[in-house]
Amino acid sequence: MTAEPPLGSADRRRTPRFNISLPIALTVPGSGQRYQAVVDNFSLGGVLLLTDAPLARGTKIVVHLPIGETGTADIEAAIVRTSSVGEFGVTFISLTEEEMDRLTDFVERRSENLHPLP
C-alpha cells in the first residue's frame, strides 16, 4: 500500500485562479481603517493581495473590487494566509448570489486577458 502525496494548493482550489494586476481598496470593518492593495491573482473563491497593510491571519476585511463599468463590489473576506513580503491570501466569505454573478461576469469579460495559474 502506498501513501497518496499531499494535495498541492492548486489541487485544493475549487475554482480556477487567474493572474491579474488590479488596484483596489480594502477596509477593516469596525476600525475605520482603509488600505490600498493590488490584486495579484483572482478566483471566484478569493484573491492574492499585495499590500503593506498590517493584516493578520484571521482578520475580516471588505474588499472593494472595481468589477463593473460603473461600480464596485464590496465583498466580505478573511485573511487566510500571510507572508513576510506583503502577500495576503484572502478567501471570500458569505458571497451573495448577486456578488457571485458580478464576479462571474467580471471573469468572463476579462477572460481573454486573464491567464489561468496551474
Domain carrying residue 101: 17-112
Q: Which residue has the higher pLDDT, 2 or 31?
A: 31
State how far the Cα of 59 lies from the Cα of 115, in Å rounded to an integer: 29
Q: Look at residue 117 and tell me if it is in a domain.
A: no
Q: Look at residue 4 and tell me if it is in a domain.
A: no
SS3 content of the chain, % helix, strand, coil (to 5): 15, 40, 40
Give the mean pLDDT of 99-113: 76
Q: Look at residue 3 and tell me if it is in a domain.
A: no
Q: Look at residue 39 and tell me if it is in a domain.
A: yes
Are 69 and 56 contacting, i.e. CB atoms less than 8 angstroms apart? no
Q: With bands split at pLDDT 50, 70 and 90, how would you rate the model's confidence at 114?
A: low
Residue 104 has pLDDT above 90, yes or no: no
- Grid coordinates standing for 39? 490584486
Q: Look at residue 9 and tell me if it is in a domain.
A: no
This model's pTM is above 0.85: no
6-14: long-range contacts, CB 8 A cutoff, minimum separation 24:
10/117, 10/118, 13/43, 13/45, 14/45
Number of domains in the chain: 1
Residue 13 has pLDDT above 60, yes or no: no
Q: pLDDT tens for residues 40-65?
A: 998 888 999 999 999 999 999 999 98
Residue 73 is part of a domain; what is its CATH number? 2.40.10.220
Q: Look at residue 6 and tell me if it is in a domain.
A: no
Give the mean pLDDT of 69-88: 89
Q: Look at residue 2 and tell me if it is in a domain.
A: no
pLDDT of residue 67: 79
Q: pLDDT tens for residues 14-24?
A: 667 788 888 99
Q: Within 10 Å of residue 78's Cβ, how many Cβ atoms?
A: 15
Alpha carbon of residue 6 to chain centroid: 24
Q: Look at residue 73 and tell me if it is in a domain.
A: yes
Phi, psi of 26 (to 5 degrees): -140, 150
